Amino acid sequence: MMSSAALAVTLSSLRTGSRVWTLAFGVVTVVFIYALVANEIQRPDGLLISSFFIAAMIFTSLVSRVYRSLDLRPERIELDETAQRLIEAASHKGEIPRSSRTSWR
């Protein structure tokens, strides 16, 4: 995460046009990337743990997407007289814009 944050700051300083800060943040980014690669070569178990986490997030996202796609969605809403009066009163007071009132009918 530090590597990605350092890269983001480097790119931001590059966009602002500051050569000195871009160079300074670029050096910090290279150091962080070197430390990341060296740590992953020495102890690859962190990569395994993060891969499991990423796979779990993708699986959860897919399950959520499938569940949401199967939800029932109403095609039409019919209001009773009491609800219609409340909406009319609120729209006359300015609490509800009149243009959105027609989509409820």
pLDDT by residue (tens digit) across 40-82?
889 888 888 889 999 999 999 999 999 988 888 788 888 899 9
What is the pTM for the complete model shown? 0.48
Q: What would the mean pLDDT of 74-96 be, rounded to a whole number?
A: 83
Residue with tokens 């939800």: 71
| One domain for residues 15 and 1 | yes
Q: Report yes or no: 10 and 25 within 8 Å, Cβ to Cβ.
A: yes
77: phi then psi, degrees, rounded to nearest 5: -120, 125
End-to-end CA distance of the chain: 51
| One domain for residues 58 and 29 | no
pLDDT at 33 over 90: yes
| One domain for residues 3 and 35 | yes
pLDDT at 105 over 60: no
| One domain for residues 2 and 37 | yes
CB atoms under 10 Å from CB of 29, counted, come to 20
* H-helix or E-strand spanning residue 95: none
Residue-number span of the structural domain to which 10 is assigned: 1-42
| One domain for residues 87 and 63 | no
Two tokens at 95?
């609490």
Domain count, the chain: 3
C-alpha span between 87 and 76 (Å, rounded): 17
Amino acid in the structure at residue 43:
R
Amino acid in the structure at residue 58:
I
